[in-house]
Amino acid sequence: MSPESSRPTRTWSRAAEDLSPGAFAFVMATGIVSTAPAEHGASASSTALLWIAIAGYAVLWAGYLWRMVFRWERFRTDLAGPRGFAFLTLVAASDVLAGRPALDRTTAPPWH
């Protein structure tokens, strides 16, 4: 048996099941970091970071929704317990992505 075959495979459902309530901190931080290059005229790197944040936002939403539907008890336990405050990263990440196009002097989202 090779070492690769002895490793457990990590499926989408297993990854979503273990998704941290604060996972949107990645999106929030990446969106915030994308503002610095934008303010200094490095629009290519700023746009790349923004697209990484947008992709992460979409993937994390899919994971959160999957977890709410298929692992409701664990999701509810996280939401009602001490880890519940970490769900606020979802709100902050949404705000960062909604406000980020203002740096480009546009109100249209980058995919528009």
**Helices 72-80 and 43-70 meet at what angle, rounded to 10?**
110
* Residue 21 buriedness (CB in 10 A; 0-12 / 13-18 / 19+): buried
pTM for this predicted structure: 0.76
Could you identify the residue written with the tokens 């790349």? 48
Q: Where are the domains of the chain?
A: 20-104
Rg of the chain (C-alpha set): 17
pLDDT (tens digit per residue) in 38-91: 777 777 888 899 999 999 999 999 999 988 998 899 889 988 988 888 999 999
Q: From CA 100, how far away is CA 32, in angstroms rounded?
A: 8
CB atoms within 10 A of CB 87: 17
